[in-house]
């Protein structure tokens, strides 16, 4: 006996169709940026033991800093912690302009955030996990990296800086 | 129980379209602005 | 035709929810201005050190009381009212619902003690390895379980009605309230598992470590649908009550209102990864799938926008409104319940825009954990939801108490002051976020603040001050109404907007629960199952607790 029909006002039907198309367009734009322009979100990189990641000599984060992989290409191992002090190690980095730097960041204690100002490097730093994103520094200057997740009293003073030399 | 009033059949939500048009234009403008910031800051791979 | 009347005991029961909710809001809101002034460079925290040890303890109180207690209690009270009034019957088992209510109250007190003793300064997200006192986790669990028990009481009442009315369409406000409660019960499984399998045993010393990435995943399983638990009750009022109040309007489409709620049920939970786009431990493919589903859940809000505005337009034109937009002026802006909800809706539009941007996969790289986020959620939960709830209470409190609303003109002014204050407050936070300012930081003291941020930081303080005035007005109106000796002349009429088409004419599958519930659960299993399985299989309980505050 299902002669019951959905009665939808034609204006509202058109609005729903329009909304659907609009959302699809946003999805396309996002996909272009992700798959066409290489602007991607972090992917699982590595698991580590947060209890030893900062102290085990075989762990790169026991000696955080830049490693030149090839001319103009660097890996940056950054350790975030709140104990004993709220800081990123190293607190300073320097690369020449045009360098591509891949950041590998982890925490030896609580969750932190890592955001390099004026770049798309912005991710969670979770003990037990390694977060990785890459950035090419096209413009010289100073770029702060700041903690963006509550990690205790010193969260608001936790930052470092990258100097990109001309 | 729905009581139909005289004129219910004639009601066309044209003002609604006007309000939603403003909303959609604002939505697209703001979304596009943030998208352009994303694109301007470059690739992450 | 006289409306169905709740008994005195039932009114008292609903009213007790409002009481706890408003008390929570009163205390939680005290910290809002402190945070806002801090951003503007005026740090008051040192002066209150005996009571509150830090910005972050205050922020924990603010978040827990406003985002978890004010909301949950108001919502359960409103949903309980809607079920009784909508189905025109008492609760099946009032004792059961009362047990639920008291569990929630005990839970709040249990969690409040460690928070006030600075043993749970973990913010309302309580991400491990930050480790709070065990009582904090017990308290939160009791609040959630209490809300389940109240929900079961609502379900039992509905099933009783259904048995006696097998062929009738469920009245809209009851249908939508049952759905909201059901959604809540499905999604809270996430934090229940997080607390019961990890955080509680850990805080009691029964296990040595937790897996923070897995804990986050459990949390955000609940964390996104949580916002629909907050939002849908406001939508119920916007769909089914506001049009009547605004100008004797009707519900433009009962069919699409119901359909939008069903879509919310199905799509609210299977997209929690959009809060984890920049988590290291979740693969991009799942993040992308969740982002597409999130675009999907925006769709029923677009439907809601049309139906609600059309219902309001009908009301405006009925009151003589002409022209493309001038009818808006003919709505009953002098009714404080109307002005609050209309202004809440306007700002909610902008909250929705920001939400869509946050949800747009890689666009999140620009916005994650910046000040844009608190800018966004102050438009959505703190205005769309909170200001609407304030508006609802402007008729609900008189209804429950029989007292006349104290100084309606003050109540109307309250909504406008909130509106102006929130524009200034929230807009500055959004812009600060785009400039790179982080959230959860006392920016007034941060060493990396460039001069570029200063004017906006000052505006945050100005907005916060204005909001404080509005909050005080709201509390004054509520308090003075409750204490008033002036009774209403006759029973307060519960505003119900009749649907323009007979609900009995809409398809039967809009009033059948099983297929929609199966669909919801199936989708959750498909888009969460594999990744949860991976995370659990590779669980590493290697993080001990830290008390770093």
- The pLDDT of residue A3 is 45
User: Residue A6 above 80 pLDDT?
Assistant: no
Residue of C169, C290, C376, C430 with catalytic role:
C376
Name the residue among A15, A41, A120 with its Cβ closest to that of B20. Answer: A15
User: Residue C73 above 70 pLDDT?
Assistant: yes
When the pLDDT of each residue in chain C is averaged and rounded to a whole number, the result is 97
Phi, psi at A158, each rounded to 5°: -90, 105
* Least confident among B6-20, C87-101, C129-143, C432-446: B6-20
List chain A residues with CB under 8 Å of B41.
118-120
Hey, where are the domains in chain A? Answer: 6-39, 44-165
Residue of C81, C235, C372, C377 with catalytic role:
C377
Residue of C169, C216, C274, C378 with catalytic role:
C378
Q: What is the DSSP string of C294-332?
A: HHHHHHHHHHHHHHHHHHHHHHHHHTT--SSSGGGGGS-
Confidence of residue C1 (pLDDT cuts 50, 70, 90): low
Question: What is the rounded distance in angstroms from the CA atom of residue C72 to the CA atom of residue B25?
Answer: 34
Question: What is the rounded distance in angstroms from the CA atom of residue A151 to the CA atom of residue C206?
Answer: 24
Cβ–Cβ under 8 Å, residues C191 and C220: no
User: Residue B4 above 70 pLDDT?
Assistant: no
The 10 Å Cβ neighbour count of residue A128 is 27
Question: What is the rounded distance in angstroms from the CA atom of residue C271 to the CA atom of residue C528?
Answer: 8
- The pLDDT of residue A2 is 43
Instruction: Look up C169 and say whether it is catalytic.
Output: no
pLDDT in tens, C174-189: 999 999 999 999 999 9
- When pLDDT is averaged across residues C393-413 and rounded to a whole number, the result is 97
Least CA distance to A36: which residue of chain B? B43
Instruction: Look up C162 and say whether it is catalytic.
Output: no
Query: How close B1 comes to chain A (CA, Å)?
Result: 17
The fold adopted by the segment(s) A44-165 is Immunoglobulin-like (2.60.40)
Question: What is the rounded distance in angstroms from the CA atom of residue C218 to the CA atom of residue C214?
Answer: 6
- The pLDDT of residue A5 is 64
- When pLDDT is averaged across residues A38-64 and rounded to a whole number, the result is 98
User: Residue C491 above 90 pLDDT?
Assistant: no
Name the residue among C212, C295, C306 with its Cβ closest to that of A26. Answer: C295
Confidence of residue C546 (pLDDT cuts 50, 70, 90): very high
Instruction: Look up C228 and say whether it is catalytic.
Output: yes
Predicted structure pTM score: 0.97
Confidence of residue C2 (pLDDT cuts 50, 70, 90): confident
- The pLDDT of residue B2 is 52
List chain A residues with CB under 8 Å of B37.
none
- Chain B interface residues facing chain C, Cβ-Cβ under 8 Å? 1-4, 8, 11, 13-16, 18-20, 23, 26-27, 30-31, 34-35, 37-38, 41, 44
Helix (H) or strand (E) holding A95: strand A92-96
pLDDT in tens, C249-299: 999 999 999 999 999 999 999 999 999 999 999 999 999 999 999 999 999
- What is the ipTM score, two decimals? 0.96
* Least confident among B7-11, C353-357, C366-370, C421-425: B7-11
Instruction: Look up C440 and say whether it is catalytic.
Output: yes
Residue of C224, C258, C290, C368 with catalytic role:
C224
- When pLDDT is averaged across residues A45-71 and rounded to a whole number, the result is 97
- When pLDDT is averaged across residues C527-544 and rounded to a whole number, the result is 97
C330 and B CB contact within 8 Å:
no
Q: Quick check: A2 and C310 CB within 8 A?
A: no
pLDDT in tens, A133-155: 999 999 999 999 999 999 999 99
Cβ–Cβ under 8 Å, residues C378 and C355: no
User: Residue C302 above 50 pLDDT?
Assistant: yes
A 79-98 near B (Cβ less than 8 A): none
User: Residue B3 above 60 pLDDT?
Assistant: no
Q: Quick check: A39 and B16 CB within 8 A?
A: no
- When pLDDT is averaged across residues C199-206 and rounded to a whole number, the result is 98
Instruction: Look up C512 and say whether it is catalytic.
Output: no
Range C160-165, long-range pairs (CB < 8 A, 24+ positions): C160/C89, C160/C92, C161/C87, C161/C89
pLDDT in tens, C216-230: 999 999 999 999 999
A 105-164 near C (Cβ less than 8 A): 109-111, 113, 115, 117-118, 120-132, 144, 146-157, 159
B2 and A CB contact within 8 Å:
no
C540 and B CB contact within 8 Å:
no
B 16-45 near A (Cβ less than 8 A): 16-17, 20, 24, 28, 31, 35, 38-39, 41-45
Instruction: Look up C378 and say whether it is catalytic.
Output: yes
- The pLDDT of residue C259 is 96
Cβ–Cβ under 8 Å, residues A40 and C319: no
Alpha helical stretches, state H, C319-407: 336-359, 364-367, 372-379, 386-401
User: Residue C141 above 60 pLDDT?
Assistant: yes
Cβ–Cβ under 8 Å, residues C257 and C301: no
For chain C, percent of residues with pLDDT exceeding 70: 100
pLDDT in tens, C96-137: 999 999 999 999 999 999 999 999 999 999 999 999 999 999
List chain A residues with CB under 8 Å of C43.
none
A25 and C CB contact within 8 Å:
no
Instruction: Look up C376 and say whether it is catalytic.
Output: yes
- When pLDDT is averaged across residues C193-197 and rounded to a whole number, the result is 98
Which are the contacts of A143, defined by CB distance < 8 A and separation ≥ 6?
A116, A117, A118, A119, A137, A161, A162, A164
- The pLDDT of residue C121 is 98
- The pLDDT of residue C489 is 84
Least CA distance to A10: which residue of chain B? B12
List chain C residues with CB under 8 Å of A149.
127, 369, 440
Question: What is the rounded distance in angstroms from the CA atom of residue C301 to the CA atom of residue C264?
Answer: 9
Secondary structure of chain C: what % helix, strand, coil (to 5)? Answer: 75, 0, 25
C 426-465 near B (Cβ less than 8 A): 434
Q: Quick check: A156 and C445 CB within 8 A?
A: yes
User: Residue A4 above 90 pLDDT?
Assistant: no
Query: How close C296 comes to chain B (CA, Å)?
Result: 16
List chain B residues with CB under 8 Å of A133.
44
Cβ–Cβ under 8 Å, residues C319 and C330: yes
pLDDT in tens, A67-125: 999 999 999 999 999 999 999 999 999 999 999 999 999 999 999 999 999 999 999 99
């Amino acid at each position: 006996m299902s002669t019951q029909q959905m009665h939808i006002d034609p204006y509202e039907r058109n609005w729903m169709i329009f909304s659907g198309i609009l959302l699809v367009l946003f999805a396309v734009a996002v996909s272009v940026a992700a798959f066409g322009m290489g602007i991607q979100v972090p992917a699982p990189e590595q698991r580590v033991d947060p209890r030893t990641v900062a102290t085990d000599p075989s762990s790169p984060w026991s000696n955080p800093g830049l490693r030149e992989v090839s001319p103009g290409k660097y890996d940056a191992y950054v350790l975030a912690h709140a104990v004993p002090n709220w800081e990123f190690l190293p607190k300073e980095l320097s690369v020449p302009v045009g360098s591509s730097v891949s950041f590998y960041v982890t925490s030896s204690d609580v969750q932190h955030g890592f955001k390099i100002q004026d770049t798309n490097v912005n991710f969670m730093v979770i003990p037990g996990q390694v977060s990785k994103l890459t950035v090419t520094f096209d413009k010289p200057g100073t770029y702060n990296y700041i903690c963006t997740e509550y990690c205790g009293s010193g969260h608001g003073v936790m930052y470092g800086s990258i100097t990109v030399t001309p | 129980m729905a009581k139909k009033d005289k004129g219910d059949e004639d009601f066309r939500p044209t003002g609604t379209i006007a309000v939603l048009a403003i909303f959609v234009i604002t939505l697209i403008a703001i979304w596009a602005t943030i998208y352009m910031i994303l694109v301007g800051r470059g690739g992450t791979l | 035709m006289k409306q169905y009347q709740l008994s005195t005991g039932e009114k008292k029961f609903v009213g007790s929810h409002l009481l706890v909710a408003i008390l929570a809001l009163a205390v939680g809101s005290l910290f809002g201005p402190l945070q806002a002034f801090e951003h503007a460079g005026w740090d008051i925290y040192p002066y209150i050190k005996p009571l509150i040890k830090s910005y972050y303890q205050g922020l924990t109180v603010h978040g827990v009381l406003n985002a978890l207690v004010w909301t949950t209690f108001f919502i359960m009270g409103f949903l309980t009212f809607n079920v009784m009034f909508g189905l025109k019957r008492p609760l099946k088992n009032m004792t059961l619902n009362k047990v639920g209510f008291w569990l929630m109250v005990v839970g709040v007190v249990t969690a409040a003690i460690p928070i006030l003793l600075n043993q749970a300064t973990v913010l309302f997200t309580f991400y491990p390895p930050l480790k709070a006192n065990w009582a904090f986790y017990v308290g939160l669990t009791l609040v959630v379980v209490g809300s389940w028990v109240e929900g079961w009481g609502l379900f039992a009442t509905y099933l009783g009605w259904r048995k006696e009315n097998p062929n009738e369409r469920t009245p809209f406000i009851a249908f939508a309230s049952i759905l909201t409660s059901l959604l809540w019960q499905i999604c809270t499984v996430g934090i229940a598992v997080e607390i019961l399998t990890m955080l509680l045993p850990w805080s009691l010393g029964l296990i040595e470590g937790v897996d923070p990435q897995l804990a986050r995943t459990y949390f955000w399983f609940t964390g996104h649908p949580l916002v629909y638990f907050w939002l849908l009750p406001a939508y119920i009022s916007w769909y089914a009550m506001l049009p009547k109040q605004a100008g004797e309007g009707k519900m433009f489409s009962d069919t699409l209102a119901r359909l939008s709620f069903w879509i919310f049920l199905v799509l609210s939970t299977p997209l929690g990864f959009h809060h984890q786009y920049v988590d290291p431990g979740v693969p991009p493919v799942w993040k992308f799938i969740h982002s597409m589903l999130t675009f999907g859940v925006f769709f029923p809000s677009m439907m809601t926008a049309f139906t609600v505005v059309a219902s309001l337009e009908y009301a405006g034109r009925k009151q003589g409104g002409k022209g493309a937009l001038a009818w808006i002026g003919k709505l009953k802006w002098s009714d404080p319940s109307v002005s609050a909800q209309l202004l809440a809706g306007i700002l909610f539009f902008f909250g929705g825009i920001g939400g869509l941007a946050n949800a747009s996969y890689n666009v999140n790289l620009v916005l994650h954990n910046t000040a844009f986020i608190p800018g966004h959620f102050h438009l959505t939960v703190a205005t769309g939801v909170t200001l609407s709830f304030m508006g609802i209470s402007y008729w609900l409190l008189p209804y429950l108490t029989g007292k006349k609303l104290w100084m309606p003109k003050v109540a109307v002014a309250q909504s406008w002051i909130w509106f102006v204050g929130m524009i200034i407050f929230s807009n500055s936070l959004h812009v600060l976020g785009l400039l790179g300012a982080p959230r959860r930081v006392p920016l007034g003291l941060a060493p990396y603040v460039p001069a570029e941020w200063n004017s906006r930081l000052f505006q945050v303080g100005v907005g916060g001050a204005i909001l404080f005035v509005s909050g005080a007005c709201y509390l004054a109106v509520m308090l003075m109404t409750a204490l008033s000796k002036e009774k209403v002349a006759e029973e307060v009429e519960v505003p119900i907007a009749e649907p323009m088409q007979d609900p009995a004419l809409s398809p039967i599958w809009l009033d059948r629960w099983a297929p929609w519930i199966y669909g919801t659960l199936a989708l959750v299993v498909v888009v969460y199952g594999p990744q949860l399985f991976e995370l659990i299989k590779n669980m590493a309980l290697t993080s001990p607790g830290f008390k770093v505050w």
